[in-house]
Structure 1
């Protein structure tokens, strides 16, 4: 049955200034129930439930197990009376009910076509496949889906079809079943993947394909790290304080020490009377300043922001273009994959339904 539509209120009927400022959640937007459709849904869910109950009872009583059980319990006459007297009328009534379901399905299909419920007129039997198949005698159990969907629609309209504890218990067991099934599938997939990685060819192909597909991402990540971590440290060398000052001072000290340890220079300077020692001292001081200035000049030219960024791009591109035929790289990636699978497997093995907050009973 197509869901009934609800009309929205005009925008000027509820001005923003008149709404309460509290943070309480608005009530759920339930569709407006239609009395005729509601009554029809209730009648259909009762009729389908009775039909399925009679079908189940008839199938049980007509089975060989019931015949054997009746012989053990000495009620064979009562079972024979049912099989000879009530079985055929129930089958006939079930056939008429099946014809009614077929007619009702065609009528709803025509209504859906008239109201343009679906994008194409032939979508209805595919959406309601369980009803179409449920019209066949061998697949009458699928009518249970119709009853479940009607019950769900009534529940959405605010009518409690089943007691809330029953609903909570059904949800719990459905969640339990789905979780256990999905966990088994995931764990089996992980084990199969581990076995595939034990093959050297598969392992190498996996690493190559992974790195090849993600070279751009690897380059972007390495470039981001270099720009964030390395570039500021290198640019500090251009400053007059900090690392640049230490490097320049050490360079100046090295040149000053080199001049002081040059015996030929000292011998020639001492040949100059009176001013020789003074010239030697000044020359060492000048050498110290030259060393510092050279370091500052080199840092300023080599660590220019544009040139440094170009260097970072080249380094990142070189790392992203790394040859995958590398033992250390294979070992690293294998360790990462194994650790990831182990952690994922451990998380999957945690049975969430055992947690107290999952027990909605």
Structure 2
């Protein structure tokens, strides 16, 4: 049910416009119902039934039907005056960039004023325009109406079904291009990554520098040191030459621990220095050195990358093809309480 928010109506200072909208809604409803009745009256079946059931009314309405264009002109005159009035107000309020924008934006109001059967249908749009204006000022809430939810749901269904099929078709064509040997990986490297190589190398150098600073300071650095210490400890204990130090009387164990601690600090500090000293030029040099050593076996990696892309597209297609509106409809049906028998 459509409810009026009186508090928002008072706060919006749109009460005069609200009254005008209600009056226009009433006139539009009367006009459209009258148009429908007059159209039915013009049919032989309805005219014959009225003549049988209410001959007095049929005889009285016959002159009105023959001159209905004059009756409609009365409504058209009222609608036209209201349209001109709103146009003047929009100019005074400077609602649009140009004074002549209003009739272009409300073209359906003008078309609906033409007294022809095909154009009178546009008067329905005036009703929607008024309701939208009241909804915009939160005087009414169309979201709470059953008819609005009905049309919104089936509009979403239509859009989802149409868009899903378009997306699936596009992804299928992309998969066909990949299967046909489209040089996608090369194009990505040449057209996407290569122009952004300076930015990527600078970013990678910054990440490595930040990683080096993080290792050098803070809890993360301590975790790295502990890991390096464990690794060095295992290496020292498994080394035959170093393990002989344990046989040195008194100081054997101390020397081993000191050596282990020193190697841990050296390895950790070397890692910190390596990461902190890396800049964009060195990263770029590493990339160049790696590319120069490119071998035909890397074609296998290209194929794997293409397979990954193809599988990802297949997952996207399966996800897009899911009809989510059906699950929403099931949820709505489950949310409706069972009616008592």
Give the TM-score, by structure 2 length. Answer: 0.64
User: Which residue of 2 is the match for residue 307 of structure 1?
Assistant: 275
Verify the 8 A CA contact 1:207 1:330 in the aligned structure 2.
Answer: yes
Quote the Cα distance in structure 1 between the aligned partners of 2:152 and 2:336: 11
**Deviation, structure 1 residue 154:** 5.2
Q: 1:303 to 1:174 in 2, by over 3 A?
A: same
The alignment status of 1:184 with 2:161, answered yes or no, reads: yes
Match of 1:59 among 39, 44, 64: 39
Deviation at 1:58, TM superposition (A): 2.2
Residue 117 of structure 1 pairs with residue 85 of structure 2: no
Structure 2 unaligned segments of length 5 or more: list them.
1-6
Return the structure number with greater helix share. Answer: 2
2:3 corresponds to: none
Alpha carbons 2:228, 2:267 under 8 Å: kept: no
Q: RMSD in angstroms over aligned alpha carbons?
A: 5.4
Q: Distance in 2 between matches of 1:53 and 1:301?
A: 88
CA drift at 1:132: 1.9
- Summarize the alignment of residues 11-90 of structure 1 with structure 2, pairs less than 5 Å apart: 30-35=11-16, 37-62=17-42, 66-67=43-44, 85-90=63-68
Q: 1:42 to 1:118 in 2, by over 3 A?
A: same
Cα distance in structure 2, aligned partners of 1:32 and 1:358: 42
SS in 2 for 1:198: helix
- Structure 1 181/224 Cα, relative in aligned 2: closer, same or farther at 3 Å? farther
Distance in 2 (alpha carbons) for counterparts of 1:195 and 1:246: 53
Q: Distance in 2 between matches of 1:87 and 1:192?
A: 55
**Most deviating of 192-201 and 235-244:** 235-244
Q: Given the two structures, how large is their TM-score scaled by the length of structure 1?
A: 0.61
> Residues of 2 paired with 1:52 and 1:340: CA distance?
48
Q: Take 2:35 and 2:78, find their aligned partners in 1: how far apart are those partners? A: 16
1:243 partnered with 2:231: yes
SS in 2 for 1:304: helix
Find the counterpart in structure 1 of residue 330 from structure 2. 354
Q: Deviations over 1:317-341 (max 9, x none)?
A: 8599998980011111222222233
Q: 2:175 aligns with which of 190, 198, 208?
A: 198
